[in-house]
């Protein structure tokens, strides 16, 4: 099986899911009309040349224009997000998210910053009606193609044309908030599109407090590396913190005895921290 060890190290991944990797790489190769090895080669050439300068501009942008223009034009995430989706890590987290939705009784979900559509497809395969919102561009069009290929028809919303209507029980957002220029307005709109008592399940890695930033994580959001600041922002828009979503204790025990990425249940712990797990907030 094709492996990109440099990207796995960069994304801190623990290997590929054999079945899902085969499917994901086949889809991307079919869409782009190239073998996955050539796609990977072009990704690294672009990432190490044109993309370096483009991301440097976006990371310190003073308005949303350069950020939106970048995400409309960049081919960067076709391969990177597909590879991430093919990993054992992300496939296990798809299971965690779906189990959380079922446990909380969530059937109408909006995936904010849906990228190449992996979360939307994963939740729909598990019986949860998930719609998609992102900026229209290369990843948006690839997600549209994938949905048609899989025979599903989520509603797709281009954020440049406005937010979706009210009617969702939950918003999921995965490594997206650190890329969004106006985080205050984004969380305000989460509250608006949710039904009363709805949830936000978010996972983010913000710029470091010392001013550094990882790739394209916006430097202006470095205060939110302190999870208390992020929680305060959610609180200002009518949300209360429920807990940290993670695999259950039984899942973690199985992982410790040699069953990697096991998910036999989920837990929501009332501990406010970043730490790689999803934060669960509820509209009040």
Dist CA 133 CA 155 (whole Å): 8
Going by C-alpha positions, the residue among 149, 133, 113, 121 that lies closest to residue 29 is 149
According to the model, what pLDDT value does residue 206 have?
83
According to the model, what pLDDT value does residue 219 have?
85
According to the model, what pLDDT value does residue 60 have?
87
Q: Is 196 exposed, middle or buried (0-12, 13-18, 19+ CB in 10 A)?
A: exposed
Q: What is the CATH number of domain 87-283?
A: 3.40.50.150
Dist CA 177 CA 221 (whole Å): 9
Dist CA 122 CA 95 (whole Å): 8
What does each of the 284 residues of the chain score in pLDDT, given as a tens digit?
899 999 999 999 999 999 999 999 999 999 999 999 999 999 999 999 999 999 988 988 999 999 999 999 999 999 999 999 999 999 999 999 999 999 999 999 999 999 999 999 999 999 999 999 999 999 999 999 999 999 999 999 999 999 999 999 999 999 999 999 999 999 999 999 999 999 999 999 886 655 444 568 888 888 998 999 999 999 999 999 999 999 999 998 999 998 989 999 999 999 998 878 999 999 99
């Amino acid at each position: 099986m094709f492996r990109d060890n440099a990207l796995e190290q960069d994304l801190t991944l623990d290997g590929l899911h054999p079945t899902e990797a085969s499917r994901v790489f086949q889809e991307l190769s079919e869409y782009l009309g190239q073998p996955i090895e050539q796609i990977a080669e072009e990704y690294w050439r672009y990432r190490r040349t044109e993309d370096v300068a483009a991301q440097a501009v976006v990371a310190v942008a003073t308005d949303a224009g350069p950020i939106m223009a970048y995400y409309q034009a960049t081919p960067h995430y076709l391969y990177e997000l597909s590879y991430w989706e093919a990993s054992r890590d992300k496939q296990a987290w798809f299971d965690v998210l779906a189990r959380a939705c079922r446990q909380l009784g969530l059937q109408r979900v909006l995936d904010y910053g849906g990228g190449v559509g992996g979360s939307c497809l994963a939740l729909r395969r598990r019986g949860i009606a998930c719609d998609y919102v992102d900026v229209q561009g290369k990843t948006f069009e690839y997600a549209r193609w994938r949905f048609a290929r899989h025979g599903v028809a989520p509603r797709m919303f281009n954020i440049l044309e406005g937010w979706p209507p009210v009617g969702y029980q939950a918003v999921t957002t995965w490594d997206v908030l650190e890329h969004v220029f106006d985080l205050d307005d984004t969380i305000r709109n989460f509250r608006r599109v949710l039904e009363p008592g709805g949830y936000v399940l978010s996972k983010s890695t913000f710029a470091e407090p010392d001013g550094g930033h990882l790739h394209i994580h916006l430097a202006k959001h470095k205060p939110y590396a302190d999870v208390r600041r992020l929680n305060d922002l959610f609180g200002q828009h009518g949300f209360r913190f429920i807990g940290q979503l993670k695999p259950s204790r039984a899942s973690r025990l199985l992982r410790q005895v040699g069953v990697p990425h096991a998910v036999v249940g989920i837990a929501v712990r009332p501990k406010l921290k970043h730490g790689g797990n999803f934060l669960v907030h509820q509209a009040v």
